[in-house]
Structure formats: C-alpha cells, structure tokens
C-alpha cells in the first residue's frame, strides 16, 4: 500500500494527539489539529475533511500499515488509545519500509563527505546500524551513548510540536530544590540536549523569566489553545548559548575569560576534544599547556573542570579559582573523615 507524505503527517499528528492523555480529543479537535500541522509544515490552507480523518483512523486501526492502533471512543465522543504506552512509532517496521530506509541511508552516505553534512555523520551511522539490525540477527557493530534510565524522553516530540506550532503550555514542574510542584503558563522556544539529558527553554507568563526546565522534572503539560503565544523578541538562541558549556544561564550572564593549566598527560585530550569552541592555546610549557576559553561561569563549567581533578588548574578568574579550590577542599574532607564504628 502506497502512503504519501501528507498521509504520514496526518497519522503522526493523530498519534501525537492520542498519546497526550491530559486532554480529551473529539473528532473536531483532531480535524483542527491536523489542519494546523498541515498549514505549518506544508502551507496547506484548505484544511482537512472529516471523512479524511475518519479514514485515517480506520487505517491506523487496521493492519494495512502494521499499526493495529488500539483507538477507542469514550462516551461516544472522545478518541484515545486503550493502551497508555501505545504509539504508531513503536510499531514494527515491515520489509518494504526497511528497503526504503536502506535506499535513504545509501543516498545520505553519498553526501556524508561534504562539510555541510558533517553534523549528520552520527545520525547516518545510527540509521544504518538500526536498519542493519532489523534485517540481520547478531551483535551490534557500533554503540552510541545512551542512558535508558533517563526520564522525560516521551515529552520530546509533543514539546517539539508545541514549539513548532507556537502553542502556549500549562506545565506542572517540580525542580530538585522545590518541596512541591508548581503549575506555570509558559511559552516554549527551544529544546536543548546536554550530556544525554534534555531541557526546555521557555518563558513564563507572569514573571517574564526565561527558564531552563529539565524534561525529567516535568510531571505533565497541556496546550492552552486560548492562551496567545508570546514570541521571545530580540534573542537569537544560537548566539545565546554560544558562550556556554551546558544549559545553565540567565539573560544577564556574560562570558568570562577563563584561563586553565592542563598537565602534559591530559593536554592531548583537551587539544583533540576542546572544552569549548572558543578554546585556544596561550602557551605551551614543558609540563603542560595553558588554554583560554570564553564562557559563562556556571555549574556545568565547574563540573567540567572538577572532572580533570589534579590534572587541571584554574589560573583566572580568581573567583572561579576560589570556587574550585573550595569544592576540592570539601571533597578532601570527605576522605579525611574517620569512618563511624558501631558501638
């Protein structure tokens, strides 16, 4: 059965809706949502008919595409999945799809030598590995960094759609420091990954603050259809995070000239994998190198430096050097404490 691009967009949009169990979806709601997505992605202004969405639901329920989606109607009005964790994206890939993916991977690999495709190298390798494993039994031949215990990954696609379609959100969030969760009306702008953990950059309605929220601390969220979306004017997020290691930053934070000494044994690691794109070597000495990076002083920077232990020293600024020294002294105290003995 041939499936065109628009049909796949409709199936994916319906799937995203039905996976959002914090809202009840009528047929009219699904029609409106699909029409919005088709307009945003393809510029289609004619909307979508009731008959088309009903036919899409029947296809998703059937075995024609291998979905067998457990779509039910509650109270003769609201559509949902009878299985909480179901998604058409979890459906097994059929042979025709595998062959098509092989073709796509083959085309992508032809472009892999061009500099503007450098950032796609990992994605292409990951795709090729997954396609190979779907057709060949046996061990993996390439492993990527992956933490299966990370929470909140199920939020990535719904949040991405909210950002793409400029939808205001009501988010229930509980930070590590808070005793209880709080509900915030937010305008989402960006999803950002750091060390296998995902974060949402959003602005709150009342305090006008730019927040960085970890997805694993988001309890639930829902779109606010009647709440106008507020653009974050005058800020280029690529530039905003350009002087940063990690994700922790406020609008008022500015980059500092951070000067570091790295011993000769660890210098090759820092030279081949710079701490930041601004890194440059100031001096080469017999026992190591002195480098400079221009970054915001935040928790992630401190953790990066502490990760090198005795092999790295902060030469400037003095405030950062004092913080690292205090944290190392505190760590030293842990090891100097005498173990408690049972009496």
Question: For residue 288, what is the enclosing H or E element?
Answer: strand 288-295
C-alpha to C-alpha distance for 18 and 78, rounded to whole angstroms: 10
Contact 294, 334 (CB under 8 A): no
Domains along the chain with CATH numbers: 5-90 (1.10.10), 95-135 (no CATH), 153-240 (2.30.30), 263-335 (no CATH)
Pair 169, 186: CB distance under 8 Å: yes
What gap in Å lies between CA 272 and CA 254, rounded to an integer?
Answer: 26
Helices (H), the chain: 5-19, 27-42, 50-61, 95-111, 121-135, 156-164, 237-240, 267-272, 299-306, 318-336
Q: What is the dihedral of CA 25, 92, 95, 132, to 10 degrees?
A: 130
DSSP 309: G
Q: What share of the chain is helix, strand, coil (3-state, %, to 5)?
A: 40, 20, 40
Q: Identify the CA nearest to 126 among candidates 143, 138, 112, 148.
A: 143
Predicted TM-score of the model (pTM): 0.62
Residues ≥6 apart with Cβ < 8 Å to 84 = 21
CB crowding 331-343: b at 16 or more within 10 Å, else e:
eeeeeeeeeeeee
Query: How would you write the pLDDT of the chain (343 residues) with one tens digit per residue?
Result: 345 788 889 999 999 999 887 788 999 999 999 999 998 888 888 889 999 999 999 999 998 887 889 999 999 999 999 988 888 887 665 666 666 666 766 666 665 555 555 555 666 666 666 666 666 655 656 666 666 667 888 888 889 889 988 999 999 999 888 888 999 999 999 999 898 889 999 999 987 778 999 999 999 999 998 999 998 876 788 888 999 999 988 888 999 999 999 999 999 999 999 999 999 999 999 999 999 999 999 999 999 999 999 999 999 999 999 999 999 999 999 998 776 665 4
Q: Which of 22, 27, 24, 45 minimizes the C-alpha distance to 35? A: 45
Query: Measuring CA to CA, which residue among 199, 151, 160 is closest to residue 12?
Result: 160
């Amino acid at each position: 059965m041939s499936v065109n691009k628009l049909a796949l967009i409709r199936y994916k949009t319906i799937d995203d809706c039905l996976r959002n169990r914090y809202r009840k979806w009528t047929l009219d709601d699904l029609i409106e949502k699909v029409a919005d997505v088709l307009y945003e992605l393809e510029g289609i202004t004619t909307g979508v008919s009731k008959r088309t969405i009903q036919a899409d639901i029947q296809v998703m329920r059937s075995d024609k595409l291998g979905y067998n989606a457990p779509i039910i109607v509650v109270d003769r009005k609201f559509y949902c999945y009878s299985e909480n964790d179901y998604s058409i994206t979890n459906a097994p890939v059929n042979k025709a799809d595998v062959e098509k993916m092989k073709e796509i991977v083959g085309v992508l690999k032809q472009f892999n030598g061009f500099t503007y495709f450098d950032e796609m190298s990992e994605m292409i390798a990951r795709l090729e590995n997954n396609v190979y494993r779907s057709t060949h039994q046996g061990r993996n031949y390439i492993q990527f960094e992956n933490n299966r215990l990370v929470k909140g990954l199920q939020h990535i696609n719904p949040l991405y759609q909210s950002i793409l379609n400029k939808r205001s959100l009501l988010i229930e969030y509980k930070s590590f420091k808070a005793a209880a969760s709080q509900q915030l009306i937010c305008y989402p702008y960006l999803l950002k990954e750091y060390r296998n953990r995902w974060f949402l950059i959003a602005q709150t309605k009342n305090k006008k603050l730019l927040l960085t929220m970890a997805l694993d601390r988001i309890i639930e969220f829902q779109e606010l259809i009647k709440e106008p979306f507020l653009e974050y004017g005058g800020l280029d997020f690529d530039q905003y995070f350009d002087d940063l290691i990690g994700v922790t930053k406020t609008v008022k934070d500015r980059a500092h000239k951070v000067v570091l000494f790295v011993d000769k044994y660890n210098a090759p690691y820092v030279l081949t994998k710079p701490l930041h794109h601004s890194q440059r070597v100031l001096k080469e000495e017999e026992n190591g190198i002195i480098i400079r990076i221009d970054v915001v002083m935040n928790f992630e920077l401190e953790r990066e430096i502490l990760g090198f232990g005795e092999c790295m020293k902060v030469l400037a600024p003095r405030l950062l050097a004092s913080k690292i020294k205090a944290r190392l002294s505190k760590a030293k105290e842990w090891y100097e404490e005498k173990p408690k003995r049972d009496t």
